[in-house]
Amino acid sequence: MNDSPIGIFDSGSGGLTVLDACRKLLPHENFVYVSDSRKGGWGSLPANQIALRACACVDKLSEYGCKAVVAACNTATESSICALRNDYELPFVGLEPALLPAVRAFPNGKITVICTPATSRQPKFKELLDKCKDARVAVRPQPKLASMIENGLHSLDSLRGEAERIVEEEKPDALVLGCTHYVFIRYIFESLLGAERVFDGNLGAARRLLAVLTERELLSAREESGSLTFDAI
């Protein structure tokens, strides 16, 4: 058993949706959340810049003695997770667009994946697409949506028009939210499509975190609710 905190990082606020899923599944664990305080997300950056910022977040989390780290960002996972696992002696859990569950649920339907441009370019994402090569999958990078959400967290309903545009253009049978920021407006997509037709990877990441901590005997023995700390680079 281990009462050290779990680290979670993201380019901004998107990872808070992952943090929420993790805390619901692991309510007795302590968490430290680190975000990038610099303006602009990571979705349009080159891979080397994303890796540098991800490492800076992990360095900050290491100061807290974290026992495991969640890369609560699809872009960072796709571009940097392998390097992070090589460079740090910590277990890492990453995010992956929930494409496989969407394909299983709608094997004959049109499945649209919305993600950042950086995610769409990564080899790991292309490997995921290859696993679904017999499905009807459309990948639609959204250059501005994550930033629009980050800058509009106090007025998310104002993004309904953008969500309606995506749904109207794509007319998907299932929609995969391939960026943790997009989960903030999942409720809008659900109102347009139905909850059963919208997918994200947050719960899958939380379950994977639970499995990793269990396998390594790192779960906390605490019976009370865990603490939550915020920091930034």
Which residues does the annotation mark as catalytic? 73, 179
Question: Roughly what angle, to the nearest 10 degrees, separates helices 15-25 and 202-215?
Answer: 50
| C-alpha angle 37-43-49 in degrees, rounded to nearest 5 | 70
CA angle 106–201–215, rounded 5-degree value: 120
**For residues 78 and 46, is the Cβ–Cβ distance under 8 A?**
no
The two tokens of residue 121 are 């370019």
Of 185, 146, 148, 144, nearest in space to 167 by CA: 185
What does DSSP assign to residue 134?
A: T
